[in-house]
Structures are given as C-alpha cells and as structure tokens.
C-alpha cells in the first residue's frame, strides 16, 4: 500500500521532495502536482517521469480521491489555507515550515486538527531526524547526564544575499533551533531576548549580523543561540547541552582527517543542503512509514508549528526592543500529549 | 520500471537485503525467493508481506521470466554455481562475498561474464559505498595529496566465537581490506606477508590473534593491515593513506561528544552491522539504479571477486609460512577496463 | 644578578611560589619571609632550606635592603597595604589576586605607582601566560581572522565546598575570565549581566550554580561566560573567539588518546592546579626576566587589577539585580599605555 | 649546592643546553667550556655572560676540580673518548646521542661505568621526558589496558637536505624510536626488518624515503615504524600502543582549534625543535635534580646507549638485505637493574 502524494508547490524544495519520494525513499509515490506556475508543474511531471495529474490549484488537487497526502511546498503565506483545506478533506499533510505566518493561523490549524480528532499534519522540521540530535535526545532522556541546565548553540551560514532581512534571521534561521531545542529538552519556552554584538564587516548595511538570542524555559533552562549568517567559513550547526553530570555536543560532520601544509584538518560544509540531507530523507520516510503502519504521522505536530510561530513573534519583538520578551502559549490540547 | 529480484538464500543476510529492498530502497522489488530450507523461504514471504513466488531451488527461480536480478545470499560454497547459472540465463546478479571459494571458481565466472559480453555481476563488497572510503578515494584521485606511498590499516572486532578459524581471519575479515584497498589506490597486489605478534590472552588456543599483514603493490605501495578480532574495546576500522604531500584518514564514526567522569569521549561502535549500515543500503541502491539507467551494474566486478580469491589464497599460505607470498593474477580481460 | 624575593604570606600559594623560585625557575632567590603566623614562616625556611631571614611583618621585610621584590601571597584584604608600602619603598611587587578588595583600593595603588614614575607592580593573573591563551592572542592580533565579535567561554569546576559564596563566583572564579578576556581582545568592558539558569541538584542551598555572565565591550564584542562550579565532570576552561573570518578555540589539555570499553576518549583534568601549572611557572619567570632585562615587570599591571576590581563589583551587583550593570572606569593614566 | 657543568662542544646543541642551564633551569651552572674551535668556546662565554673557564680540550676541562658534570655535545665520533675520560675521573656525564658510534664503543663505556661501581652517565634520549610518552608509559605500567601487543609508530620530518644519508635514517632518526619504545614496553628487541615502499618524488636520488621498520621483542610485541623524512606537511611523531583491552596514542601537539575557509583545523609543527622543547628542559633538569638528591642520574643509561648502538647496526644491515636481522645483546650487567 503506497502512500500517494499530491504536491502543492513545485519550486526548489518541492522538486527535491519529489525527487526523494520518487528515486530514494520507499513506499511513496507522487500522483498529483500543482503550482501557481502551471508550466513548472508540468515540467516536474516530465522531469521525474511521474505518472501524475497536474491540477490548476490546491483545492482540486486535494479533491482527487487518489491522493492520500498533501505535500505543501508552496510560498509560506499560502501554507495555512492549503493545510486547512487538506484537514477539511481528511487528508494527511506534510507542510514545510512555516505552518502559518502568524500564531493565530497556526492555532486555527491546531483547532481544525483537534476537531478532526486524529493527527493528520506533520511540519517539516527536519532536524529532529538528524542522527546527531536524535542521539543527543536519547542521551538526555536516558537521564545518564542528569537534568539539562543550559544549551549553547550556534547557527552559522557562510553568507546571505541582499534579500535577507532582520526578521528572516528569526523566521528562517533561528526557527530551526526554536523547534528542535524545546523538543530536545522536552520543555516550553517562557522568554526570548536578542542581543546585538558588533557587526561583522560582511553584514549588509540594513542587517545586524551576528545576533545572540537567549531563551529561557519553564524548567529554568537557559539557552544561548548565536545566529551568524555571514560567518564566511562554512555552514556550521553547533549544540552543546550542559547537564548536572556532564555535557554533550552534536558530532562534527564526518570528514576525512588530513594532515597537509602544517595543518591537521577536517572539512566544514559550506552548502547547507549537505548538512541535513539524511534528515530530509528520514523525515519524509518516517511520514510515509508512520502513516502506513499506524494511520497517523508521528513527527513534528501542528502544535509544534504553533510553538514556532509564537516564539518567532517574540523573537522579532525582541529584535526591536532588545528586551526579554515573554512567550505565552495558549493551553496545549490534550490531543497532543499522546 | 522496477528491478525485480529473486533471492537465493533467506538466512540472516538475505533477510536484511530483502528488508532494505522492500522497505528502505527505491526501485526494487522481491518477486521470488528460494532457500534449501523451504520453510525459511515461505516465512520470509510472510514476514515481509512479499508478493513473491517460493521456488524449490536456484535453477527454477532463475528461470522465472519475471525475475530480472538474482540476489545470492546463500552459503558461500553455493555461490559459484548460482552465479554461473544466472549468467547463463543472462540475468543480473548481486552476489555476496565470496564470489567463489576458489580462485579457479572466480575465474570461471569472469570468463562466463566476458563471454556473455556485458556486465551482469556485482559482488557485495560494500565498503566501496561507505562515505569515508568514497571521500578517501576522491581525495586520492584528485592528486591533491600526490601519489599514495603507504597505507596503515586496522580491522578490529570486539570478539569472535569458537568457530572462528585462522583462515577466516583472511577469508572473512581481511577480505574487506583486500577488496577496498586496491580499489582505493587503483593498483594491484604483488605479495602478502603475515606476521604474528604476541597473542592476546583473549585469543582461543587454536587461534593467532592479532595478526599483521603486509601487502605490496605493483606501484610499490606498502600496506600494513592489523587484523585483531578479540580487541575487546569495539568494532573499529581504520585506514590512513600516506601520500607524497600529506596524509588522510577515514573519519571516526560520528557520535555525540561528551564530557563526563573526567573523560572527553565519543562512542566506538561494538556492533559491526552499524558501521556499514549506510554502505549496505547504498550498494544495493546503486545496483538497482545503475541497471535501471545504464543496463549494467557499476559496482565491484567479478574480476574484483577473482582478485579477492587469489589474494586470500596467498594470505592463507603466508599464515603457514610467515614468508612473503607472491600474488599472481592472470591477464585482466580488457572487458573490465571500461 | 639574581632577583631577591621577600615573601609576604607563607600559606599554600606562598609555598608554591617559593618552591618554584627555589627549585624550578632561574634567576630568583627567596631571601626573606614573613607571615602573621611566625611559625609558618620559620617552617618554610626549613622546608625549602632557604637562606632567608624571617621578619615579624611586611614593613620590616620591605625595609630589608637585600630584598629586591615583594611577593604578596597573604590574605586578600591585606594585599593593598603591603603593595602600597612596597611602592613607597620603591620595590618591585608581584601581588596575587586581588590587588585590592575594593576598586578604590586598587585605584590608590595605580596612583601610587604613577606617582613613583616607573612600573613596579605585577598582578598574579597567570592565564595570560598559558600557551593556549597566548596563541589565541597571537592569532587575534595577526588579524588573520578579522575582528573578534563574540566570545563564548566556560569556567567549570568539579565542585566547591560549603564556604563558597555567591560573590566568590565573581571574585574568585569569573575574575580570571575578567582579566584575560579584555587583554585577549584589547578592549574595555562597558557592562555585565548575570543570568541564573536552573540550579544543579549539586548546588548547596545558599548558592546559585550554574550562572551565566554577559559582558559587553566598548567595541561591541559580546562575551558569554558560563560559570559552573559543581559541574562534576572535571576542571574545564573553554574559550571560543568568533571573528569575522572564522573562529578559534583554546586547545584541549593534551592527554593520551585511548580506545577502551567502547569509548574513544581523552582525559579531562579534575585538579585545577594542573591546568595552569606551566602558566604559574611562566608568570614568575617572566617577572624575574623582565626586571633583570629591562628594570620593569611587563605582566598584568596595577591598572589591570583596578579593571578587575571595578568589573567584579558590577558583576556582584548584577547577581542581585539580574540587570545589565554598567562598568565605568576612571581615565586610564597614560603611564599604562607604554 | 649547584651542579657545575663543563661543556664539551659549543655548537648548536651545546649552546642550547648552555642557554637552558643558565636561563631556564634551576640548580645548574656552566663553569667550563671547550671546543675544537676555541673561538666558538670563547664566544659562548661572552654570549651567555658565563663565569666560566675556556679549556683547550676535554681532558683539561675534565681535570678542573670545580667541574662536577661533563655535558658532551661535541661531534658524535668524539663522544666515546670524552665519556670514558669523564668516568675515569669519576665525573658525571650527560652525553648527547650517540653514546658511541659502534656497539663495541658503547659496551666499553658500560664496562667502565660498571667498574666504577656507581651510575655516572646519562644519554640524551629526551623523548622519555616528553609528557605524552610519560603518560603512555604510566598507562602501560598500570596494566589497565592489559599487555601491549603491537605498536604503530611514525617519525615524519618535513624534509631533509642533501647531506642526509640512508644510514642517518637509522642513526639519527629511527634512533629515537629505538630508545623510547623498548623503555615504553619494558622489553628487549630480537630483530628488525626494513621495508622500502615506493619512493616519494621529493626523495633525493641517493635516498630511499619513506622506509618502514618492523621490530620484534622478546615478549613477542611487533612494532611498525614509518620513517618518512620528506613528508612535506610537518614534523609529526606518532605512537599507538595496541593492548589486550584497548589502545592508546600519543596526544596531538596542543594548538588552537580554528574554523576557517571550510576547514576545522589545528596546527602541525614544522620545526622539530618545538616538538620536544619541554622534554629537553626536563631531561637536563632531571639530571641536575637526581644528582643533587641521590648522587646519581636516573635517566637513560649507558646500557640504553649500547642497546641503541646494537639495534642501529642491525637496522642498517637490514637496509642492505631487506631481511629480518637479529638483534643480539650481551648479558645485561645486574648493575643496570636497580
Ligand atoms: Mg523540511
Ligand atoms: Mg555486502
Ligand atoms: Mg597567580
Ligand atoms: Mg637530547
């Protein structure tokens, strides 16, 4: 029983997911596609030799009874409506971040899913499927290191273009830490504060880069995250968890170890796509497998998407005030505790 | 166009490959199985919910016109006959090591394939699909480090059981280095010598453990390989390539980095299956993809299986003589140079 | 020409310095000692077989014309008076931290030294003599990595006793980072803020542990320092400098690299004395050498002692307010710019 | 009570030792010097402002009653006669390698010392004073890792000049491993074999480079040593000890850890002097301290010098034969077992 996908949005990320469902993963098939650019949608069918219908819009694609699951890879502001329509039709949804561009929007999806009565939605926070983070979580959950007290993280990109804005540092960059860190320590955020260090000479004039964010949780954990998007040297994701009995860090990306020109060195990635390439495969494979085995996805939920939206909003407020901004979630539906 | 596998041998390795073809990889399907234990074959069909015929023997399975490729995971001594029959039928073959238990047997397969006129056979030397070895090879082939002069390698297992024999140290353990190292440096072996260090107290009385093997190549590269199968501490594969401009080593297996109890540490694997788990996936996926795209497998060839057989024979002779034993290959068919 | 030391305070640190001057270093000699416990002073002379006079107090020791330099290793509150008396007598002073227990006291020493017209005082901030920090500073000063933007530091002790107080986390622990970090980046602090994460279960009830301090500089550098004095796993000092072109970290303490029991590990120190043992030797040797060669010490100055005092005061205020507390220095005498 | 040195040979190594005795170490003083180039001897006195007599030859220097210990840093072929004369005079000797240029010569020194009845001689094998080797030895001697079975070592220099000969690869380079490794495992060598890999393009035409040496011990330990003196990338000394319960390696030389230009790297030394700079200090300090405390040196003995001579001879024979050459020592005088 193959999981049949309808893809909404055939841009770069959409094509990558189509590629992995078609040529790398097991148990899934793309049977329908749509894009506001219809030619793009048709080209994708041809490019990947799909046996798939091309639809004029998300509504008609969702209505196709041969479609089991909607893969939402459209423009961010369009996500919310497509996800709500899919839930309305009782279809599974894998939605790339953001689930919605506002906290209210994300909450409306949570409410629709709760009303539906069964999990349908998974949000594309792929880091939870990275082996390093998975091992960190296993170690934390084993209690072998005692309770986590602090996290020291860094999210570094070699460079960003002119279109990159101050808000994107939160919505597109920090967002990955926002999701993965509360999952890692199984706790909820209470506040976030932005701090602006000296600007690198490589930052464009409209941008503050680097930035430091300090998140605190209900349990008192303090999290420092450096966001540095013109760090020049590579794409580098760091996470150190300081616990009562010891500390743990993400593994370095494996690389051959060379001795040359008076240096002992390993490689640092420069292309972000390489860093989580297995995680992208794993998140979609898990979506397929979980639905085939249990009838529900088991990855990041709509509630996680809501947490990300609320926390991002607070982060952006703090970029303006440089004050500690509270993060207040509404009550978590019991639905998401199972 | 799915590649349809007939599996000969449904023991442990057979089941693992069936599992990955069925649930992990893309583009393959198991449509026929056989085993000398027919109940084992039937159980596998049930266990993996295969839509597959159960055959009484390899001949009848090979004759099934719905079978495109034969996966040989039977007992080693049975491999040669199955592979020859598959070639006779013009079918693709993925054969676990050894290709044959004698150099003559391996050579007969080479000759059959050459006569057939097109590559059909891939041997299950999975290390060539390990990311670490692949990166080593890319670095060597880039000439950035100059010519390779020496390799220092270690193959360590935490322990082996009573059934493990002196010959198995060559045929089952060293065999992986034998295959991957000549591929790595693109050279042929000329001799091998065994050296027996002090025995570990953990070696059973009939065994010599550890052992050191010194291989030399046509190009003059000297390779030292430590084989230590009761090293206790873990499963550990090391390979350092010393070149004219610098050295390169295999990456360590990625693991979280912890500080605890006055130690800064990472984990060493103890289960050999974990070490090359991705490589096993990759070798079969590549077999499927290459056949689908080009009509031929592109992995380790029957000729590579022949090299392994000749080199193993010399290694076992040296275990008896402790002398430098020559390794003489017959002329390489031009067929394998493309 | 040997530098002849008079030692004020023959407790643990005093004895260690006497030991190194007498048995390890070159060019110094202890010729006079005093301690409020006269028997301790006499015992030290005997223990190290010194050819030294025992004095009843610092005044009479300073007056001894055979004494070139005063080594101040008495109780902290006594430092200021001894240092001022030594300056008054025109003698060199090596004073262990703190130079004075108040900013005003430190400033009075600065003023006395300026009035004297020539450098006499060195403060015992030994980290500047640690090879790791020295190499970090060389790399920063080389401009090869561009300007420093952020520092991420940790100061971890395995445990502290009941006598350890909240203020000591600043005055005795953070003080080392306070001194070494402004020297490292050649900048002055403008503010400090304390953050209190979840308490470790190993913290005594009167203590907050761990703590995070955020320092900012005139040049905009943001420094995060984790102070964690019951971290259990070891004594561990970390410092990462994030610059415009790349990052640099302190080396790990060298240790044999072992593979055992499924771990690849190096040792983490548990005894803080081992961590900077070479630095302690180097700071006193440099004090001796600089005076012998140039007539002045060249290590951490009285002004550096004043900076430490002012910054510590602000740090302690922030432990109470958890607000960003300003750090305001009086004008730096030109005297210290050479 | 200062140890008063007479230095025989004021070339580069002699000056370095004079420098450390005079300006770095404690408890030693240079009171006499000689050199076949008398002007060199006089210059050294001036350069280091020594209060020392200049003698026309080693005999007259040894005769000076104010001289306690002879430091032999002359041309290698001259060592034996000076050491014998010093023993004859009952004076301590610190002799740079080689103790003698022939095994017979070394043995004559052993016999003279035994006849004298008390240890006088220490040979300048400084590696035993390197912290890394010391820690390896402590770990081996603790039996925590079980018995050592194999050692894998490398001795790499960035390059050598035209004057470097095949024999020097043994006498000047391998010699350090020859001494330190038998001390490390507390065992004696029984044979050595040279293997010649493919030559690096950087080797001069008269030279074989790299070379591999295989040493075996009475206890069955097998030692592989790569000697590679034009490795280009740096000066790098590696030693891995494979034991029954695990393995241990020398630490890497500590260096700041940088991330820059897509590399995570540490520095590899290029100047061999930097590698063992602390060990050179420690060996002389220990020579001084041991004599002052116990009346005898406790470092590498004349017997160790003899072992080095016999083993080097066998190594050079194997460079000619490429066969396993036996290493036969005469009976060890009981004198050296204490
Ligand atoms: Mg995603
Ligand atoms: Mg295989
Ligand atoms: Mg100090
Ligand atoms: Mg020496």
Quick: pLDDT tens for D229-249. Answer: 999 999 999 999 999 999 999
**Residue D338: is its pLDDT beyond 80?**
no
- Chain C residues within an 8 Å CB radius of B259: 233-234, 236, 268
Yes or no, beta carbons of A256 and B248 under 8 Å apart: yes
Quick: pLDDT tens for A119-141. Answer: 999 999 999 999 999 999 999 99
Quick: pLDDT tens for B14-72. Answer: 999 999 999 999 999 999 999 999 999 999 999 999 999 999 999 999 999 999 999 99
Yes or no, beta carbons of A249 and B261 under 8 Å apart: no
User: How far is the centre of ligand 1, averaged over its atoms, from the C-alpha of A19 (Å)?
Assistant: 14
Are C302 and B300 a contacting pair, CB within 8 Å? Answer: no
ipTM score of complex: 0.96
Chain C residues with at least one Cβ partner in B under 8 Å: 233-234, 236, 252, 259-270
**Residue B333: is its pLDDT beyond 80?**
yes
User: How far is the centre of ligand 3, averaged over its atoms, from the C-alpha of C4 (Å)?
Assistant: 19
- Can you give the pLDDT at residue C324? 98
Residue B323 C-alpha from the chain's centroid = 26
- Chain A residues within an 8 Å CB radius of C186: none
- Can you give the pLDDT at residue A1? 79
User: How far is the centre of ligand 3, averaged over its atoms, from the C-alpha of C179 (Å)?
Assistant: 12
Percent over 90 (pLDDT), chain A: 99
Average pLDDT over residues B261-269: 98
Q: What is the pairing mode between strands B69-72 and B92-95?
A: parallel
Yes or no, beta carbons of C256 and D139 under 8 Å apart: yes
- Can you give the pLDDT at residue C328? 97
**Residue D1: is its pLDDT beyond 90?**
no
- Can you give the pLDDT at residue B221? 98
CA gyration radius, chain A: 20
* Alpha helices, H only, C90-173: 103-116, 131-141, 166-168
For D179-203, b/e burial (b = at least 16 CB within 10 A) is bbbbbbbebebbbbbbbbbbbbebb
User: How far is the centre of ligand 4, averaged over its atoms, from the C-alpha of B18 (Å)?
Assistant: 63
The residue of chain A with its CA nearest to that of D252 is A264
The partner residues of D123 in beta bridges, in order of sequence, read: D95
Q: What are phi and psi of B114, to 5 degrees?
A: -60, -40
Quick: pLDDT tens for D82-133. Answer: 999 999 999 999 999 999 999 999 999 999 999 999 999 999 999 999 999 9
Distance from CA of C271 to the nearest CA of B (A): 10
CB contacts < 8 A (B, D):
94
The residue of chain D with its CA nearest to that of B234 is D246
- Chain B residues within an 8 Å CB radius of A132: 254, 256
Q: Which chains touch C (3 or more CB pairs under 8 A)?
A: A, B, D
User: How far is the centre of ligand 2, averaged over its atoms, from the C-alpha of B164 (Å)?
Assistant: 19
- Can you give the pLDDT at residue A166? 97
Which domains does chain D possess? 3-127+278-306 (3.40.50.720), 131-270 (3.30.360.10)
Give the pLDDT means over successive 10-residue stretches in chain C (338 positions): 96 97 97 97 97 98 98 96 98 97 97 98 98 98 98 98 96 98 98 98 95 98 98 98 98 97 98 94 98 97 98 98 98 92
Yes or no, beta carbons of C260 and D253 under 8 Å apart: no
- Chain B residues within an 8 Å CB radius of C268: 259, 262-264
- Chain B residues within an 8 Å CB radius of D247: 231, 233
> Cα–Cα distances in Å, from C113 out to B60, C252, C298, D118?
100, 38, 14, 56
Average pLDDT over residues A81-86: 98
Chain C residues with at least one Cβ partner in A under 8 Å: 146-147, 149-150, 152, 154, 195, 197-202, 210, 212, 214, 216, 219-222, 224, 226, 228, 231-233, 242, 244-247
Whether omega before C132 lies within 30 degrees of 0, making that bond cis, reads no
Quick: pLDDT tens for D266-297. Answer: 999 999 989 999 999 999 999 999 999 999 99
Quick: pLDDT tens for A287-336. Answer: 999 999 999 999 999 999 999 999 999 999 999 999 999 999 999 999 99
- Can you give the pLDDT at residue D120? 98
Distance from CA of A241 to the nearest CA of B (A): 9
Quick: pLDDT tens for A213-245. Answer: 999 999 999 999 999 999 999 999 999 999 999
- Can you give the pLDDT at residue C87? 98
Strand order in the sheet with A69-72: A53-55, A28-34, A3-8, A69-72, A92-95, A121-123
Q: What is the pairing mode between strands D28-34 and D3-8?
A: parallel
* Burial of residue A90 (number of CB atoms within 10 Å: 0-12, 13-18, 19+): exposed
* Alpha helices, H only, A48-130: 58-63, 79-88, 103-116
Q: What is the Cα–Cα distance from D40 to D37, expressed in whole angstroms? A: 5
Return the ligand number nearest the Cα of A180. Answer: 1
- Can you give the pLDDT at residue C217? 98
Looking at residue C300, the DSSP 8-state letter turns out to be: S
| DSSP line for B290-328 | HHHHHSS--SS-HHHHHHHHHHHHHHHHHHHH-SEEE--
Distance from CA of B157 to the nearest CA of D (A): 11
Looking at residue A129, the DSSP 8-state letter turns out to be: G
Distance from CA of C160 to the nearest CA of B (A): 16
- Chain B residues within an 8 Å CB radius of D246: 231-233
**Residue B338: is its pLDDT beyond 80?**
no
**Residue D185: is its pLDDT beyond 90?**
yes
Average pLDDT over residues D157-164: 96
Q: Is C159 left (phi over 0), alpha (psi -120 to 50) or beta?
A: beta
**Residue A41: is its pLDDT beyond 90?**
yes
- Can you give the pLDDT at residue D329? 97
SS3 content of chain C, % helix, strand, coil (to 5): 40, 25, 35
Q: What is the Cα–Cα distance from A4 to A27, expressed in whole angstroms? A: 9
Q: What is the Cα–Cα distance from C271 to C235, expressed in whole angstroms? A: 6
């Amino acid at each position: 029983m193959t999981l049949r996908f309808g893809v909404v949005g055939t841009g770069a990320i959409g094509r990558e997911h189509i590629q992995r469902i078609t040529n790398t993963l097991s148990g899934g098939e793309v049977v329908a596609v749509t894009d506001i650019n219809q030619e793009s949608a048709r080209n994708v069918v041809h490019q990947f030799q799909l046996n798939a219908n091309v639809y004029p819009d998300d509504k008609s694609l969702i209505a196709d009874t041969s479609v089991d699951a909607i893969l939402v890879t459209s423009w961010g502001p369009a996500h919310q409506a497509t996800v709500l329509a899919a839930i309305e039709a009782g279809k599974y949804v894998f939605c790339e971040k953001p689930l919605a561009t506002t906290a209210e929007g994300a909450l409306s999806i949570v409410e629709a899913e709760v009303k539906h009565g069964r999990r349908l939605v998974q949000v594309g926070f792929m880091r939870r499927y990275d082996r390093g983070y998975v091992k960190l979580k296993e170690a934390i959950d084993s209690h072998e290191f005692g309770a986590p007290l602090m996290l020291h993280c860094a999210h570094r990109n070699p460079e960003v273009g002119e279109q990159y804005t101050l808000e994107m540092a939160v919505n597109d960059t920090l967002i990955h830490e926002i999701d993965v860190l509360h999952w890692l320590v199984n706790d909820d955020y209470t506040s976030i504060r932005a701090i602006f260090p000296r600007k690198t000479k490589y930052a464009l004039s409209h941008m503050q880069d680097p930035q430091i964010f300090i998140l605190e949780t209900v349990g008192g954990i303090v999290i420092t995250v450096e966001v540095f998007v013109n760090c020049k040297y590579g794409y580098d994701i760091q996470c150190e968890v300081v616990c009562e009995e010891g500390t743990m860090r993400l593994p370095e990306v494996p690389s051959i170890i060379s001795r040359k020109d008076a240096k002992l060195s390993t490689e640092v990635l420069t292309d972000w796509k390489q860093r989580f390439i297995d995680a992208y495969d794993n998140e979609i494979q898990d979506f397929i497998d979980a639905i085939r085995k249990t009838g529900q996805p088991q990855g990041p939920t709509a509630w996680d998407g809501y947490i990300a939206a609320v926390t991002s909003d607070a982060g952006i407020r703090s970029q303006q005030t440089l004050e500690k901004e509270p993060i207040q979630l509404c009550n978590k539906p019991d639905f998401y505790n199972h």
